Structure 1
Amino acid sequence: MGRTKLTQALLKNSNNPKLAWQLFKRIQSSPTNPSFLPSVPTIARILISAKMLPEIDHLHRLLLSSQPQQGSLSSLVSLVKLLAKSGFLDNAFSQFQSVRVKFPQNLPSICLYNVLFECCIKEGRSDHVLWLYKDMVTASVSPQTYTFNLLICGLCDLGHLEEARELFDKMSEKGCLPNEFTFGILVRGYCRFGLADKGLELLDEMKRFRFLPNRVVYNTLISSFCKEGKTDDAEKLVERMREDGLLPDVVTFNSRISALCRAGKILEASRIFRDMQIDEELGLPQPNVITYNLMLEGFSKQGMLQEAKTLVESMEKNGDLMNLESYNIWLLGLLRNGKLVEAHLVLKDMVNKGVAPNIYSYNIVMDGLCKNGMLSDARMVMGFIISSGLSPDTVTYSTLLHGYCRKGKLYEANNILHEMMRNGCFPNTYMCNILLHSLWKEGKISEAEELLQKMNEKGYGVDTVTCNIVIDGLCKSGKLDKAVEIANGMWTHGSAALGSLGNSFIGLVDDAHSSKRCVPDLVTYSIIISALCKAGRLDEAKKKFKEMMGKDLQPDSVVFDIFIHIFCKEGKISSAFRVLKDMEKRGCNKSLQTYNSLILGLGSKNQIFEIYGLMDEMREGGITPNVSTYNNIISCLCKSGKLQDTSSILDEMVQKGVNPNISSFKMLIEAFCKACDFGVAQELFEIALSICGHKEAFYSLMFNQLLVGGQLSEAKLVFEAALDRSFYLGGFLYKDLIEKLCQDEKLEEASEILHKMIKRGYKFDPASFMPVVDELGKRGHKHEADELAEKMMEMASDGREGDKIYPNARESIRRKGTKVGADDWHTIVHRDDGSGIALKALKRVQKGWGQRSVSHLQPHKNEFLDHWESGG
Structure 2
Amino acid sequence: MDPTTSLSKALFNNTNNPKLAWHLFKRIISSPTSSSSSSDLPLRSIPVIARILIDSKMHREIDSLHQLLLLSQPLETLRPCLVSLVRILAKSNLPDKAVAHFKSLRSRVPDKPPSVYLYNLLLESSLRENNVDFVLWLYKDMIFSRIKPETYTFNLLIWALCESDRLDDAREVFDKMRDKGCQPNEYSVGILVRGYCRAGLAGRGLEVLDEVRSCNVLPNKVVYNTLISSFCKQGRTDEAEKLVERMREDGLFPDAVTFNSRISALCSAGKILEASRIFRDMRVDDQGLGLPQPNVVTYNLMLQGFCKEGMLEEAEALLKSMEKAGDFINLESYNIWLLGLVRKGKLLEARLVLQEMVDKGIEPSIYSYNIVINGLCKSGMLRDARTVMSLMERNNISPDTVTYSTLLHGFCSKGKVFEANNILHEMITNNCFPNTHTCNTLLHSLLKEGRTSEAEELLKKMNERGYGLDTVTCNIVIDGLCNDGKLDKAIEIVSGMWSHGSAALGNLGNSFIGLVDDSNNGKKCSPDLITYSTIIGGLCKAGRLDEAKKKFMEMLGKNLPPDSVIYDMFIRSFCEQGKISSAFRVLKDMEKKGCNKSIQTYNSLILGLGSKKQIFEIYGLMDEMRERGVPPDVRTYNNMMKSLCEGERVRDATSLLDEMLQKGISPNISTFRILIEAFCKGCDFGAAHEVFDIALSVCGHKEALYGLMFNQLLAGGEIWNAKELFEVALDRCFYLGNFNYKDLIDRLCKDEKLEDASSILITMKNKGYGFDTASFLPVIDGLGKRGNKHGADELAERMMEMETEGRVTDKVYRNERETSGRKPNNTCRSDWQTIVHRDDGSGIALKTLKRVQKGWGRESLINLQPHTNEFIDY
TM-score scaled by length of structure 2: 0.78
The equivalences for 1:380-779 within 5 A come to: 380-460=387-467, 465-466=472-473, 468-470=475-477, 472-474=479-481, 476-478=483-485, 508-511=519-522, 536=545, 537-543=547-553, 545-546=555-556, 549=559, 559-564=563-568, 566-567=570-571, 570-571=574-575, 572-573=583-584, 575-576=586-587, 579-580=590-591, 582-583=593-594, 594-602=598-606, 604-605=608-609, 606-608=617-619, 610-611=621-622, 614-615=625-626, 618=629, 628=635, 631=638, 641=649, 642-652=652-662, 655=664, 660-674=667-681, 677-689=684-696, 692=699, 695-722=702-729, 732=739, 747-749=751-753, 752-753=756-757, 756-757=760-761, 760=764
Distance 2:437 2:355 in 1: 31
Distance 2:368 2:662 in 1: 41
Q: 1:373 aligns with which of 377, 380, 391?
A: 380
Please give the alpha-carbon distance, in whole angstroms, between the structure 2 residues aligned to 1:187 and 1:868: 66
Amino acid at match of 1:846: L
Whether the 8 Å CA contact 1:568–1:576 is kept in 2: the answer is no
**1:255 to partner: Cα distance:** 0.3
Match among 338, 363, 370 for residue 370 of structure 2: 363
Cα separation, 1, equivalents of 2:166 and 2:551: 33
Deviations 1:236-286 (Å, cap 9, x if unpaired)?
Answer: 332333333332222111101111212222233223223333434233333
Aligned to 1:4: 5
Distance 1:261 1:151 in 2: 36
Provide Cα deviations, 1:477-500, integer angstroms capped at 9, x if missing partner: 555666666666667666566558
In structure 1, distance between residues paired with 2:296 and 2:847 = 55
Name the residue aligned to 2:863. none
Per the alignment, residue 254 of structure 1 pairs with: 260
Instruction: Please give the alpha-carbon distance, in whole angstroms, between the structure 1 residues aligned to 2:658 and 2:281.
Output: 46
How big is the shift at 1:343?
Answer: 1.8
Which residue of 293, 304, 312 corresponds with 1:305?
312
Q: Could you tell which deviates more after superposition, 461-470 or 254-263?
A: 461-470
**Cα contact 2:93–2:128 (8 A) shared by 1:** no
Q: Name the residue aligned to 1:339.
A: 346
- C-alpha displacement of 1:437: 3.9
Partner of 1:801: none
| TM-aligned CA distance change 1:673 to 1:815, over 3 Å | closer
Question: Which of residues 213, 226, 229 in structure 2 aligns to 1:223?
Answer: 229
1:817 matches 2:820 = yes
Greater mean alpha carbon deviation, residues 232-241 or residues 714-723: 714-723
Cα 1:213/1:766, change in 2 over 3 Å:
same
Are the equivalent residues in 2 in contact too, given 1:188–1:199 (CA < 8 A)?
yes
Q: Do the aligned partners of 2:267 and 2:302 also contact (CA within 8 Å) in 1?
A: yes
CA distance in 2, matches of 1:43, 1:482: 62
Does the CA contact (< 8 Å) of 1:276 and 1:287 recur in 2?
yes
From the superposition, tell whether residues 569 and 481 of structure 1 become closer, same or farther in structure 2 (CA, over 3 Å): closer
RMSD of Structure 2 on Structure 1 (CA): 4.8
Q: 1:186: Cα distance to partner?
A: 3.4
Q: Compared with structure 1, are the counterparts of its residues 53 and 690 closer, same or farther at alpha carbon in structure 2 (3 Å cutoff)?
A: farther
Partner secondary structure for residue 225 of structure 2: helix
CA contact (8 A) 1:723 1:757 kept: no
Contact 2:202 2:231 in 1 (8 A): yes
Moved more, 23-32 or 261-270: 23-32
The answer to whether the aligner puts 1:838 opposite 2:844 as a matched pair is no
- 1:766-805 equivalences under 5 Å are 781=786
**1:848 CA displacement:** 1.3
Deviation by residue 1:792-847 (Cα, 9 ceiling, x = unmatched): xx99xx9xxxxx99656637346513426779755766989995543354244234
CA contact (8 A) 2:66 2:82 kept: yes
Counterpart AA for 1:333: G
Instruction: Give, in whole Å, the separation in 2 of the partners of 1:69 and 1:530.
Output: 74
Query: Is the 2:761–2:776 Cα contact (8 Å) retained in structure 1?
Result: no
1:387 Cα shift? 3.0
Q: Deviations over 1:88-121 (max 9, x none)?
A: 6666666666667767777677766666665555
Determine the C-alpha separation between the residues in 1 that align with 2:261 and 2:214.
Answer: 27
Alignment of 1:170-189 (within 5 A): 179-189=185-195
Q: Distance in 2 between matches of 1:808 and 1:449?
A: 35
> For residues 120 and 445 of structure 1, do their structure 2 counterparts lie closer, same or farther at Cα, with a shift above 3 Å needed?
farther
The alpha carbon displacement at 1:327 in A equals: 1.9
| Distance in 2 (alpha carbons) for counterparts of 1:282 and 1:721 | 74
Corresponding residue pairs, total: 818
Please tell me the residue identity of whatever aligns with 1:747: D
Question: Greater shift after overlay, 538-547 or 338-347?
Answer: 538-547
**Code of the aligned partner of 1:347:** L
Cα deviation digits, residues 51-83 of structure 1 (max 9, x gap): 334333433443444433564455556656666
Q: CA deviation at 1:459?
A: 4.3
Q: Which moved more, 1:424-433 or 1:724-733?
A: 724-733
- How far the C-alpha of 1:610 sits from its partner, in A, is 4.1
Instruction: Report deviation, 1:203.
Output: 2.4
Deviation at 1:607, TM superposition (A): 2.8
Matched, 1:233 2:245: no
SS at match of 1:321: coil
Q: Percent identity, please.
A: 52
- What amino acid sits opposite 1:238 in the alignment? V
Paired residues of 1:599 and 1:614 also in contact (CA < 8 A) = no
User: In the superposition, relative to structure 1, how do residues 346 and 766 fare at CA in structure 2: closer, same or farther (>3 Å)?
Assistant: closer
In structure 2, give the amino acid aligned to 1:817: S
In the aligned structure 2, how far is the partner of 1:4 from the partner of 1:520? 65
In structure 2, runs of 5+ residues without a counterpart are 36-40, 576-582, 610-616, 856-868
**In the alignment, which of 292, 304, 308 is matched to residue 299 of structure 2?**
292
Offset at residue 339 of structure 1 (A):
0.5
Where 1:810 maps in the other structure, the secondary structure is coil
State the Cα deviation string for residues 511-554 of structure 1 (Å, max 9, x = none). 46xxxx7666665566566556656444345345535647xxx8
2:697 and 2:845 in contact (8 A); partners too? no
SS at structure 2 position matched to 1:293: helix
Whichever of the two has the greater Rg, that structure is: 2
The correspondence for 1:350, drawn from 357, 376, 394, is 357
Counterpart Cα distance in 2 of 1:485 and 1:72 = 65
Letter in 2 for 1:651: L
Q: Distance in 1 between matches of 2:104 and 2:642?
A: 75
- Aligned match of 1:855: none
CA change 1:733–1:62 in 2 (3 A) is: same
Q: Aligned partners of 2:671 and 2:142: how far apart in 1?
A: 71
- 1:33 counterpart residue number: 34
Q: Give per-residue Cα distances to partners, 1:334-367, cap 9 Å, x unaligned.
A: 1111101222332333334343333332332222
CA distance in 1, matches of 2:497, 2:139: 33
The 10-residue stretch of structure 1 (609-618 or 3-12) with the greater mean CA deviation from structure 2: 609-618
TM norm structure 1: 0.78
Q: Distance between the aligned counterparts of 1:143 and 1:787, measured in 2?
A: 114
Say if 2:704 and 2:826, in contact at 8 Å, map to a contact too: no
